[in-house]
Chain A
Amino acid sequence: MFRFILGRAAMAVPTLIIVAVSVFIMIRLIPGDPAQLMLGDQATPETLAEARRTLGLDHSLPVQFGLWISAVLEGDFGTSISTGKAVLPLILDRFIVSSSIVLSAVLIASLIAVPAGMVAAWRQNSLSDLLIVGGATLLLSIPSFWLGLLLMLLFGLKLGWLPVVGYVPVSEDPLAALTFSLLPVATLVLVETGVITRMARASTLEVLRLDYITHARAKGLSERVVLLRHAFRNAFAPTWTLIGLILGNLLGGIAVVETVFTLPGLGRLLVDAIFARDYPVIQGCLLFIAGIYVLVNLIIDLMYPLFDPRVTAE
């Protein structure tokens, strides 16, 4: 067990290095001189040379990478060009907003979708299966930003039940924070329910076809025991992996939902930084989100043996 954890954790290291190198190269591919971009039109040759020195641009590329990555490891993601603030605190502030919405949405979506998918698989080709699969496919086909607009139009503008845009931190007013995050969370729940239901159904179908299920039924176990003890736990494993991927994907993809509801989240920070050509912030966001993605997948993998003990058998 210990060897499994250690081995899997060691596998994440090369991925993180690849991510760091790709982000570094990507930002260096941007045409133009970062120092010039930072100073704008007021740059004189002296200030330019000074800026290049402080940014470390006078070194060779591998040295620049080394300097950058050692700073990152110490928690120094650089300073934002447009606001002059340190990048990491900025990212962490926004991350709290995005992650609380993403985590609650994925949790609720899983609680709805996993049982729905499993019931659909168990009652394959019945009316309930048809309804569940049809509903899931329909939800899957609605873009989150449009669904968000529709919910906003209905509950915010027409019915006036919920605030349309804005954000209040939980620390200031928990009740207001809840009303402001209700619509964004509902949007993500609906969209992700579609994806997770289909996955849960497909993996349950695969398991139900296996010989050991036939064997369990043949030896006279009740359908309840067959499903709960033998089928569902095994069938949940692939869905669990998908949930991890969704968590990571949403951290980048939530930008559209944050735009609809004008939430100050991480995705919006990245998009605004792209517009402002604020390269330290872009670089920091890309590295941070990709890093979290690797980390989430690592945690998901480490919890895999809970559903499928065969994983640690090696």
Chain B
Amino acid sequence: MTALPSFLRLRRMQPNALLGGILMLVLGLTALTGLLWTPYDPLKINILQRLAGPSAAHWLGTDEFGRDVLSRLLAGAATSVWISLLTVTCAVTTGTLFGLSAGFLRGWPDRIIMACNDAVLAFPGILLALGLLSVLGASKYGIILALSLAYMPSVVRVVRGAVLSLREREFVEASRVMGNSELYTMLRHVLPNCTAPLIVLATSMFGWVLLSESALSFLGLGVPPPAPTWGNMLAASRPYIGQAVWLGILPGLCISLTLLGANLLGDALRDHLDPRLRGLK
């Protein structure tokens, strides 16, 4: 893992990595701000100020209930980022656990885990999350659970694939010969070597999860209103988009910039950490 520090050296950075990094940093700061402080209460209704355009008091205008859009965007960032982070963490931890066990133990644990994995992968995209949400009901933790389950199989595949090739390598053999237990070998020697593909996957996954969460909220199956998320703000803007353009543009712009950041950073990390592609640039 000596790759990361050199990657973080600013002058060696690719412009797309820099842009991606900056976008993600801005997102993080926005979410943190939304968590700690917003100019107005994002839920405070003010009927007299309905659909008011941007002004000195309300920088980004107000929505159909007279709520401050900037405050709602900030609070929405906090919610969306929190849900995405938690989902990615859940998917990566459980996926790593299963992938590691499947690849290292092989035999019947491998067969059972991969059969379950294939069952989940047999559902296209967001469909599994939709199905699970019909069972769990629309709530913050329902989404996290549904999306974690939907995104876990890709982690299992990546980790299992890495482990299967790693376990045949000499340094793993050496650890065994030295008398280290299988568990120790797995955690000390195999797992750290899976981190590069995992970091790449987790970065891109953050973007996909945020997009899925926004889509579900847009459909009304995500975080229930009045709590703001970018997805449900967009959904609520639909009837007013003719009179209040900013309501339809701002939340979507936030989602797009976040996705752009995650995609650029994910690509840059992959180019850097995937040795197969390193000579290419």
Contact = CB atoms under 8 A, between A and B. Distances in A.
A294 B125 CA distance: 13
Q: What secondary structure prevails in chain A residues at the interface with B? A: helix
B241 interface: yes
Interface string B240-270: 0110010011011001110110011001000
B178 interface: no
Interface in A207-252: 209, 245, 248-249, 251-252
A92 interface: no
A290 B211 contact: no
A252 B135 contact: no
Contacts of B218: 145, 256, 259
A249 B124 contact: yes
B127 interface: yes
Contact of B124 (A259, A282, A293): A293
Nearest to A146: B252
A29 B135 contact: yes
A248 B241 CA distance: 31
Interface string A137-176: 1101111011001101100010000000000000000000
Interface string B208-231: 000100110011110000000000
Query: Which of A18, A143, A293 has its CB near the most chain B CB atoms (within 10 A)?
Result: A143
B122 interface: yes
B126 interface: yes
A290 B124 CA distance: 7
A24 to B, nearest CB: 11
A290 B123 CA distance: 5
B215 A22 contact: no
A15 B118 contact: yes
B135 A26 contact: yes
A270 interface: yes
Given A141-B260, A290-B123, A293-B123, A153 B255 contact: no
Query: Which of A153, A209, A274, A290 has its CB near the most chain B CB atoms (within 10 A)?
Result: A274
B130 interface: yes
A140 B262 CA distance: 11
Contacts of B207: 141
B39 interface: no
Contacts of A255: 126, 130, 219
B234 interface: yes
Interface string B4-46: 0000000000000000000000000000000000000000000
A286 to B, nearest CB: 5
Interface range on chain B (Cβ under 8 Å from partner): 35 or more
A22 B123 CA distance: 10
A274 B280 CA distance: 48
Contacts of B252: 142-143, 145-146, 149-150
B54 interface: no
B259 A26 contact: no
Nearest to B218: A145
Contacts of B238: 149, 260
B127 A289 contact: yes
Query: Which of B133, B215, B264 has its CB near the most chain A CB atoms (within 10 A)?
Result: B215
A277 B134 CA distance: 8
B196 interface: no
Nearest to A290: B123
Query: Which of A18, A137, A141, A289 has its CB near the most chain B CB atoms (within 10 A)?
Result: A141
Nearest to A136: B263
Interface range on chain A (Cβ under 8 Å from partner): 35 or more
Interface in A153-203: 153, 157
Contacts of B248: 146, 149-150, 153
A289 B125 CA distance: 11
B127 A149 contact: no
A64 B245 CA distance: 52
A52 to B, nearest CB: 20
Query: Which of B211, B218, B221 has its CB near the most chain A CB atoms (within 10 A)?
Result: B218
A146 B255 contact: yes
A18 B119 contact: yes
A252 B127 contact: yes
A285 B122 CA distance: 14
Given A30-B134, A149-B234, A253 B215 contact: yes
B131 interface: yes
Interface string A1-44: 00000000000000100110111001101100000000000000
A113 interface: no
Contacts of A252: 123-127, 130
Given A142-B256, A256-B219, A251 B241 contact: no
Contacts of A27: 135
Contact of A137 (B123, B132, B134, B260): B260
A282 B242 CA distance: 34
Nearest to B123: A290
Given A140-B259, A153-B245, 14 more contacts: A18-B118, A21-B119, A22-B119, A26-B131, A137-B267, A143-B259, A150-B252, A256-B215, A260-B238, A271-B221, A274-B134, A274-B221, A282-B131, A289-B124
Across chains A and B, which 8 residue pairs bring their CB atoms closest together, nearest first? A146-B252, A252-B127, A249-B125, A141-B259, A141-B260, A248-B124, A293-B124, A274-B134
Interface of A: 15, 18-19, 21-23, 26-27, 29-30, 137-138, 140-143, 145-146, 149-150, 152-153, 157, 205, 209, 245, 248-249, 251-253, 255-256, 259-260, 270-271, 273-275, 277, 282, 286, 289-290, 293-294
